[in-house]
A = this chain, B = another copy of it.
Amino acid sequence: MDAETFRVQGHRLVEWIADYLEHSDRYPVLAQVKPGEIAAALPTAAPAEGEPFDRILDDFEKQIVPGLTHWNHPGFFAYFAISASAPGILADFLSSALNQQAMLWRTSPSATELEAVTVGWLRDLMGLPSSFDGVIYDTASISTLHALAAARELKVPGVRAQGLSGRAEVPRVRIYCSEHAHNSVDKAVILLGHGHEAVRHIPADENFSMRPDALDAAIKQDLADGYLPIAVIATVGSTSTTSIDPVPAIADVCERHDLWLHIDGAYGGVAAIVPECRYAFEGCARAHSFVVNPHKWLFVPFDLSVLYCRRMDLLRAAFSLSADYLKTSEAATVQNLMDTGIQLGRRFRALKLWMVMRYFGAEGIRRRLAEHMRLARLFASWVDADPDFERTAPVPFSVVCFRALPRGAQESHADSAINSTSTAAADANGAEIDAFNERLMELVNASGEIFLSHTKLRGRLTLRLAIGQLRTTEAHVARAWTLLKLHAAALDGRGVPA
């Protein structure tokens, strides 16, 4: 493509994206297509001859846009709401153009060094001590995988050379996390060859926080049974409810048994930047590793996850392995990113973290996170004040768990409440409330105005309203509440949605 065509097409794209970001609420937030519909409209083979870029962009609008779920929509309240901020998008555009492959320092000194600088900035803002070094990966799944690989390197002598099987001296391994931990822990443990049974899901208390007494008991039992405990994962901001595991008490248990402590702050970690949230991170400085995803709640376009680790030497011991064709003269004086992980190639991800942190500034980030938390508390207050709804979990950050109560159910509310002991009658009633909420979720999602997701708490369906989109304002949260109220009333035979 000649420079002139690039200019014309690039300017066309800038206009399209500017318009898209300004009016992302013009699209239904959840894609309204049926499975297979997008693929069916596309040719089954690549074209023999090249096509003009104009035509490709036209087809993008016609064939691809209808199948997008709009993560940029201010009504996106599902999973964790994430944001591609404008400075992050522009930075990533540059990163794609520069096409740095930062496996070695020399293949991109700027990507290598800017990564160290920006993860240092973020670490300091979060109040983690400088004994934590940081490295950028793509996703929290990969960050947690590396943390557990480092833990294994520490706790299973000879594992790098000799592995796990066929060695009578290596017992079955155990890794501990809350029953509310993210399943990336389970996947990492399976991949590492420890087997899914190696994960012990520790019971949580009434606030969905891991019980340190239960953790300690499980470890003691496993030690007595001849297992090899290696690591504990504590979560600050769990996926279902954003619950906070009691890190200081868990750190005590880990230190007593000499276990690796990994903190999953993939979503919640950035809240440490906000002074009022700092309490939730007490004890995290005692952890061995900590993952936070700036692509979740720090306005950086997907993907960018940071792993902080106090034993980066173990990560390198587990992974560094230099081929002749990658040896360089400056190896002794520089960090080569390929030595800190499974992936040889590294995209220039630090650029978008740098531009986003500079564009918003520390105070700008604080203000936005605080506002998201204010909106969550506001929505929670509406739920709490309404007899047709109930809240199903505390709201420490920016996610509200709640459910609607159909009128019939309210009459036996004492039995059916999510916190109550289960009985047959309550179960039947619970199933009815579940079905009501599932239907309610489908209806509000079909509106195209908002997108909510769900989880299960104590076996019962609960809705989640996750605030984190940079473009979400109080009006959008209010509209979500209105839609929920209207559709719940209609479902309950008490009215029709406007």
Contacts and interface: CB of A to CB of B under 8 A. Distances in A.
B163 A194 contact: yes
Interface in A152-173: 152, 156, 158-168, 170-173
A127 to B, nearest CB: 13
Interface residues of A, number: 159
Interface stretch (A29-37, A251-259, A405-413, A418-426): A29-37
A100 B67 CA distance: 11
A451 to B, nearest CB: 9
A342 interface: yes
A68 to B, nearest CB: 5
Nearest to A14: B10
A196 B160 contact: yes
Interface string A57-81: 0001000111111011000001100
A283 interface: no
Given A163-B194, A333-B35, A10 B18 contact: yes
Contact of A94 (B17, B196, B456): B17
Contact of A171 (B166, B192, B355): B166
A276 interface: no
Contact of A114 (B38, B141, B240): B38
A364 B168 CA distance: 57
Given A69-B107, A303-B347, A342-B191, A50 B361 contact: yes
22 contacts: A3-B18, A3-B22, A10-B90, A13-B14, A45-B121, A49-B363, A84-B98, A88-B96, A141-B342, A162-B197, A163-B197, A163-B198, A165-B167, A166-B173, A182-B323, A183-B323, A186-B321, A187-B321, A191-B192, A191-B318, A302-B347, A329-B442
B96 A1 contact: no
A414 interface: no
A420 B446 CA distance: 73
Q: Which of A78, A96, A125 has the most CB of B within 10 A?
A: A96
A6 interface: yes
A77 to B, nearest CB: 13
Given A30-B106, A138-B138, A166-B171, 12 more contacts: A1-B86, A3-B18, A6-B90, A35-B105, A51-B358, A53-B90, A72-B97, A84-B99, A159-B193, A161-B195, A163-B172, A192-B192
A361 B48 contact: yes
Q: Which of A98, A122, A364, A442 has the most CB of B within 10 A?
A: A98
Given A101-B71, A109-B33, A64 B117 contact: no
A42 interface: yes
A98 B68 contact: yes
Contact of A31 (B48, B110, B187, B239): B110
A324 B363 contact: no
Interface string A5-17: 1110111011101
Given A35-B105, A94-B60, A145-B342, A319 B190 contact: yes
A239 B239 CA distance: 41
A6 B86 contact: yes
Interface in A177-231: 182-184, 186-188, 190-198, 227-228
A142 B67 contact: no
B71 A99 contact: yes
A358 B69 contact: no
A306 interface: no
Contact of A69 (B69, B109, B323): B109
A68 B106 CA distance: 9
A398 interface: no
A90 B13 contact: yes
A486 to B, nearest CB: 22
A387 interface: no
A128 interface: no
A36 B351 CA distance: 17
A396 interface: no
A187 B319 contact: yes
Contacts of A455: 323-325
A298 to B, nearest CB: 11
Contacts of A85: 1
